[in-house]
Amino acid sequence: MTAWLTIADARALYAAGDAAHDFDHVLRVTHLAVQIAAAEGADLTVVRLAALLHDLPTPPAADDDPRAAHHVRAAGAAQQLLLTRGAAVELAAQVAHCIEAHRFRDRRIPPQTLEAQCLYDADKLDAMGAIGVARTFAYAGASGSRLWVKPVAEIAGDNDAAGNDYTPVHEYVFKLRRLWDTLYTPTARAIGAERHATMAAFFTQLDAEMARSGYGVSDQEWQFDKGL
């Protein structure tokens, strides 16, 4: 793989990953990132290392949301790991920037290099399409979330408000449906077009089936409608 990190090395680092951010996700992102980087003329070594390390599990502070700053913690851990394995300071810094800039929910650190854009795009592509839908439901199930709740109006804007009503639909309305428009590279946008359409069709159908199943009404309305 590289002089500093093999696939086996990377796999061992993800033993604590969650259902949606496991090593299978890392491998898919790495494949996509390298594909995009090759087409766009980016540095393959930087992109490959950043992709393999982008979701590196790191312990959050006691009062932190485990996912809230994972990109910052993973960037620091990846940079330190590469330095201890003999990578050049500049290479380690380039990889760290790619990882810091890959999170959708934190746009304060935009991808400033082509390599960072390749990683961002690859990670977002893996959150789209049938794979993205599957990952969203896997994460929601592991978190004990309900299957479907009508999303509050605020999340259609820039307010990531869900309270106790977080469901995969919330994730789609706030994040997933917007991903295609955030992609940087022409290569990723071409790949993402079909995935975006697949995902939109799924959630449209899900909403329709839930509406026909009586979801979203109160217990009193449900009992009245069913004659119970």
Whole-angstrom distance, CA of residue 26 vs CA of residue 17: 10
Q: What is the pLDDT of residue 167?
A: 84
- pLDDT at residue 228 greater than cutoff 70: no
Among candidates 163, 132, 185, 161, which has minimal Cα distance to 21?
Answer: 132
Note the residue count of the chain.
228
- pLDDT at residue 93 greater than cutoff 60: yes
Q: Are 118 and 36 in contact (CB under 8 A)?
A: yes
47-92 pLDDT per residue, tens: 999 999 999 987 765 445 555 578 889 999 999 999 999 999 999 9
Q: How confident is the model at residue 155 (pLDDT cuts 50, 70, 90)?
A: low
Among candidates 133, 131, 101, 117, which has minimal Cα distance to 187?
Answer: 117
Whole-angstrom distance, CA of residue 89 vs CA of residue 85: 11
Q: What is the pLDDT of residue 153?
A: 61
- Work out the average pLDDT over 17-23: 74
Question: Could you identify the residue written with the tokens 């409608």?
Answer: 225
Domains of the chain by start residue, with CATH: 1-115 (1.10.472.50), 127-228 (1.20.58.1910)
